[in-house]
Structures are given as structure tokens and as C-alpha cells.
Amino acid sequence: MYLLNTRTEDALDRVFEGFFNSANTGLTRNYKTETNDDNYIVEMALPGYEKKDIELSAKDNMLTIESSEHDAWKRSFSKSFQIPSDVNNSKISAEMKNGILTITLPKAEQSKTKLINIK
């Protein structure tokens, strides 16, 4: 579990809230955001979906999550949203396990907290 700064958590919620509360996505706000010195982490519940159903891409600080899967239980969706500017896009990773999509957005080196030794 990660310790969260309330302001950081609120800011992350605002970033992702627009994505999940859009009327045409077919998704609800079944997610949580966490942060630590190295990463932003988003865990999102997508019950019924499998890894093969979801496509995730990042370009120019935009993250796009898509699914063309459509049946009685799953809706197709496509949505892009802006991610924090200090994310290292080339190192974003994701894992889908038991209907939970976990997206790890690594912070760029310059935005990480550096401890300074006092002499």
C-alpha cells in the first residue's frame, strides 16, 4: 500500500474523473489512484473484460484505453485523457488480472524526490 498525500490524490482523482464520468464511455468510476516517489498507479475494475479485450496506448501525454469488445455483458469504449506531465510515457506499463487493470505511470527522473545529505 502506498502512502498518499491528500492533495496529490485529489489531483489524480480530478485527472481520471473526467475519463470515467463521461456519459458515452460505458464505464463507471470503479478505480483508485495512488502515488509514491516513483509512480502514479491506477487500478481500474473492468469486470468481464480480459487482457485481450483492452488496448492501451500513450502519446503526447495522452493515455487511451479502448475496447472493441461488444456483447450482452461488455460495452465497447474508447477514451483518451491527459496524464500528468511528469510521466515517462515510454515506461508506462499495465497488467490485467481478475478483471482489474493496473496501470503504472512512472515519474520522470527530474520529478522524483531527491534526499540531500546535509554536511
User: What does DSSP assign to residue 15?
Assistant: H
Question: Between these two residues, 109 and 53, which has the higher pLDDT value?
Answer: 53
Q: What is the pLDDT of residue 106?
A: 93
Number of C-beta neighbours around residue 5 at 10 A: 9
Q: Which long-range contacts (CB under 8 A, 24 or more apart) does 25-28 make?
A: 25/77, 25/79, 26/75, 26/76, 26/77, 27/77, 27/79
Nearest in space to 60 (alpha carbons), one of 92, 31, 32: 92
Q: What is the pLDDT of residue 2?
A: 43
Concatenate the DSSP letters of all residues of 38-104 into one string.
Answer: SEEEEEEE-TT--GGG-EEEEETTEEEEEE---SSS---EEEEEE--TTB-GGG-EEEEETTEEEEE
Domain limits, the chain: 6-108
Is residue 7 pLDDT above 70, yes or no? Answer: no
The arrangement of secondary structure in 6-108, i.e. its CATH architecture, is: Sandwich (2.60)
**pTM, 2 dp:** 0.68
pLDDT tens for each residue of 17-73:
554 444 344 555 577 889 888 999 988 888 888 899 899 998 888 888 888 776 767
Is residue 1 pLDDT above 60, yes or no? Answer: no
